[in-house]
């Protein structure tokens, strides 16, 4: 019976894992501190989030937690709630609220709703997205399905990455081979 | 085909063919957007209407979708929308939308495509029982064909681009709906959920986004969508679902060994109330039907199938109830009609002697 129960091991298991897996624990404790958001009420909702890089704690009062969409009766959708909080709590960079040139969504809009406005936003706000994605996803590089029309640009991008690596490690023969391969792909793409 | 016609059949994917009891259903969902329009929350009404019409046209030309039916969210009343939501064809979010958002249903409700919900497209495939690879294959085929008609928003770095970064990359969310009364009655459900959370798996209640797990029904799904292939995501969920099924079976076995009287009481009370009540609230019905379902699977109750329980669970939800009664009902009237339907559908059921 013991062997198959691995993921039911108790909370004494370390909550940090080798890969970027998030662990979220919700506990109502006897820790006496003020709510991080309103700074007035006693914090009764304590969330602990562990990923492979750090452990983060968030302490809120029931009111603020509820306002942020957290249902204290149902701790099932914790990860989404924390993801939303994560985005909203990033510190303001030097007061410049830049906007996407295509759809005019501002950084502050993104923080408020946790949603982007258009495809261009991924580029506009990439500095903010990169660390966010690294934390909340399993990686920050897509390795799954690629639409047929994107297959060649995707392969070119992948070969370019390898070319950069080859140059950096001074493997110039490999770099030349990759450069030729990229040229071949580009010609294929045009036809 | 109106929503009324849908109500007449309990959705063939609910049929008993692959229903093991513990895993009720499997679902694969892909989030996709097109390049030249802002994401739905940031688009104008006109843009959304235009896009919805274009997408509708594209779906009518696709061969992998047999007989697609289109529903315009602007043309449906609240009861109709509830019916669609109860059949897991639309989300709470799409219920709130009006013209410019729509739903395409195909293959006896096994395929449902939401247009202009959080993303331009949410492609969904469902099946009864544990059938994740098949639902993925189906929706993958629809997606691949749609590629030829639509300019998908995609970046080699971030993958398929979505309104919310939590869906970016593969845009894939696979989930299974499970019935876990054993773990619940043995008080082992909380550690199981925490264990799953640690593995990057999300657990939600029966009604979708972040609600109470009523009736011991849990939906488990992958949390991450970027940095892994679709096959890796699916393999992991299948593996974990299998483990939970084992744990549930294990818990039920221990329940029967150690708490037999308690289990009999739980099941037979459910049987008694469902067979005789004149008034049933939806919350109460869901809990009791869970007890009865357990009773079927533990061979305590006879002359009723799990498929019949699935049917009752669907028909006793508020939208379906009102469709059957053919009028709008207030909560008290719904509770009466619900009790009537339950009694009627459970005729002949008995405790095994």
Per-residue pLDDT of chain B (353 residues; tens, 9 = 90+): 577 777 776 665 565 545 667 999 999 999 999 998 999 999 999 999 999 999 999 998 888 887 889 999 999 999 999 999 999 999 999 999 999 999 999 988 899 999 999 999 999 999 989 999 999 999 999 999 999 999 999 999 999 999 999 999 999 999 999 999 999 999 999 899 999 999 889 998 875 444 456 889 999 999 999 999 999 999 999 999 999 999 999 999 999 999 999 999 999 999 999 999 999 998 899 999 999 999 999 999 999 988 899 889 889 999 999 988 889 999 999 999 999 999 999 999 999 87
- Specify the pLDDT at position B116: 97
Tell me the pLDDT tens digit for each residue of A86-137. Answer: 655 555 555 678 899 999 999 988 888 889 999 999 999 988 898 889 889 9
Predicted TM-score (pTM) above 0.80: no
* A-chain residues near B163 (CB < 8 A): 115-116
- Specify the pLDDT at position B298: 93
Q: Is the pLDDT of residue A10 over 90?
A: no
**Of residues B38, B155, B160, nearest to A118 (C-beta):** B38
Other beta carbons less than 10 A from residue A73's beta carbon = 7
**Three-state DSSP state, B112:** strand
Chain B stretch 195-254, residues whose beta carbon is closer than 8 A to a beta carbon of chain A: 195-200, 202-205, 209-213, 223-230, 240, 243, 246-247, 250
Angle at B172 between CA B111 and CA A90, to 5 degrees: 135
Asked if A32 is an interface residue toward chain B (Cβ–Cβ < 8 A), one would say no
CA B274 to chain centre: 24
Buried b (16+ CB within 10 A) or exposed e, B299-332: ebbeebebebbbbbbbbbbbbbbbbbeeeebeee
A162 vs A157, more confident = A162
Contact: A21, B204; criterion CB under 8 Å: no
Interface pTM, i.e. ipTM:
0.85
Asked if A130 is an interface residue toward chain B (Cβ–Cβ < 8 A), one would say no
Mean local confidence (pLDDT), A67-71: 65
* Terminal Cα-to-Cα distance of chain B (whole angstroms): 46
Contact residues for B118 (Cβ-Cβ < 8 A; gap 6+): A115, B31, B39, B40, B41, B93, B162, B163, B164
B234 vs A1, more confident = B234
- Cβ atoms of A146 and A132 within 8 Å: the answer is no
- Specify the pLDDT at position B205: 80
Contact: A103, B38; criterion CB under 8 Å: yes
Contact residues for A137 (Cβ-Cβ < 8 A; gap 6+): A20, B166, B168, B169, B224, B225, B226, B227
Contact: B224, A10; criterion CB under 8 Å: no
- Specify the pLDDT at position B6: 73
A182 vs B10, more confident = A182
CA distance to partner chain B, nearest, from residue A7 (Å): 5
Q: Is the pLDDT of residue A139 over 70?
A: yes
Q: Mutate which of B123, B194, B229 to disrupt the A interface (most A C-beta within 10 Å)?
A: B194
**Three-state DSSP state, A45:** strand
Buried b (16+ CB within 10 A) or exposed e, A142-178: bbbbbbeebeebbbbeebeeebeebeeeeeeeebeeb
* B-chain residues near A154 (CB < 8 A): 156
Mean local confidence (pLDDT), A23-28: 49
- Binning pLDDT at 50, 70 and 90, where does residue A2 land? very low
Asked if A15 is an interface residue toward chain B (Cβ–Cβ < 8 A), one would say yes
The four Cα atoms A109, A112, A115, A119 give a dihedral, to 10 degrees, of 20
Contact: A8, B191; criterion CB under 8 Å: yes
Contact: B195, A8; criterion CB under 8 Å: yes
A40 vs B68, more confident = B68
CA A115 to chain centre: 13
- Cβ atoms of B29 and B114 within 8 Å: the answer is no
CA distances from B237 to A24, B69, B139, B178, B198 (A): 19, 31, 17, 13, 13
Contact: B140, A145; criterion CB under 8 Å: yes
Cα separation of A90 and A111, whole Å?
8
- Specify the pLDDT at position A11: 37
CA distance to partner chain A, nearest, from residue B46 (Å): 15
Angle at B155 between CA B153 and CA B159, to 5 degrees: 90
* B-chain residues near A102 (CB < 8 A): 38
Contact: B156, A133; criterion CB under 8 Å: no
Mean local confidence (pLDDT), A33-55: 72
Contact residues for A52 (Cβ-Cβ < 8 A; gap 6+): A16, A17, A18, A19, A20, A21
* B-chain residues near A85 (CB < 8 A): none
Cα separation of B24 and B127, whole Å?
9
- Specify the pLDDT at position A78: 57
Asked if A118 is an interface residue toward chain B (Cβ–Cβ < 8 A), one would say yes
Asked if B42 is an interface residue toward chain A (Cβ–Cβ < 8 A), one would say yes
Cα separation of B72 and B246, whole Å?
43
């Amino acid at each position: 019976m013991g062997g198959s129960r691995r993921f039911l091991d108790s909370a004494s298991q370390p909550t940090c894992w080798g890969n970027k897996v998030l662990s979220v624990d919700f506990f109502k404790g006897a820790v006496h501190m003020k709510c991080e958001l309103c700074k007035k009420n006693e914090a009764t909702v304590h969330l602990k989030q562990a990923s492979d890089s750090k452990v983060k704690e968030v302490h809120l009062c029931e009111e603020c937690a509820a306002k942020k969409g957290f249902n204290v009766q149902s701790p099932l959708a914790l990860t989404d709630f924390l993801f939303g909080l994560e985005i909203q709590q990033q510190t303001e960079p030097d007061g410049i609220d830049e906007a996407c040139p295509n759809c005019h969504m501002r950084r502050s809009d993104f923080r408020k709703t946790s949603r982007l406005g258009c495809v261009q936003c991924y580029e506009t706000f990439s500095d903010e997205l990169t660390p966010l994605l690294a934390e909340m996803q399993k990686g920050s590089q897509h390795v799954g399905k690629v639409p047929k029309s994107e297959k060649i640009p995707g392969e070119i991008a992948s070969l370019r990455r390898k070319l950069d690596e080859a140059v950096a490690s001074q493997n110039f023969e490999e770099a030349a081979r990759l450069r030729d391969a990229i040229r071949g792909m580009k010609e294929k793409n045009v036809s | 085909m109106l929503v009324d016609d849908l109500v007449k059949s309990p959705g063939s994917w609910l049929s008993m063919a692959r229903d093991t009891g513990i895993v009720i259903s499997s679902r694969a969902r892909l989030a996709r957007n097109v390049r030249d329009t802002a994401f739905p929350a940031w688009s104008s009404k006109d843009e959304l209407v235009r896009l919805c019409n274009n997408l509708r046209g594209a779906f009518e030309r696709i061969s992998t979708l047999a007989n697609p039916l289109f529903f315009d969210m602007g043309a449906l009343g609240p009861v109709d929308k509830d019916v669609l939501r109860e059949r897991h064809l639309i989300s709470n979010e799409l219920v709130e939308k009006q013209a410019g958002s729509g739903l395409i249903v195909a293959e006896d409700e096994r395929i449902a495509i939401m247009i202009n919900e959080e993303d331009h497209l949410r492609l969904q495939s469902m099946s009864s029982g544990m059938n994740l690879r098949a639902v993925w294959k189906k929706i993958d085929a629809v997606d691949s064909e749609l590629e030829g008609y639509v300019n998908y928003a995609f970046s080699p770095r971030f993958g398929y681009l979505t309104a919310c970064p939590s869906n970016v990359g593969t845009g894939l969310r696979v989930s299974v709906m499970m019935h876990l009364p054993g773990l619940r009655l043995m008080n082992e459900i909380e550690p199981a959920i925490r264990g799953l959370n640690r593995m990057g798996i999300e657990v939600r209640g029966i009604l979708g986004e972040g609600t109470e797990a009523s009736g011991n029904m849990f939906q488990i799904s992958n949390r991450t969508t970027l940095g892994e292939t679709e096959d890796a995501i699916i393999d992991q969920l299948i593996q974990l679902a299998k483990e939970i099924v084992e744990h549930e079976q294990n818990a039920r076995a221990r329940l029967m060994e150690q708490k037999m009287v308690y289990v009999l009481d739980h099941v037979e009370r459910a049987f008694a109330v469902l067979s005789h009540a004149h008034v049933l609230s939806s919350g109460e019905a869901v809990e009791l039907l869970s007890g009865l379902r357990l009773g079927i699977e533990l061979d305590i109750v006879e002359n009723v199938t799990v498929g019949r329980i699935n049917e009752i669970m669907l028909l006793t939800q508020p939208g379906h109830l009102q469709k059957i009664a053919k009028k709008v009902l207030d909560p008290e009237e719904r509770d009466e009609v619900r009790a009537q339907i339950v009694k009627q559908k459970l005729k002949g059921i008995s405790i095994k002697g």
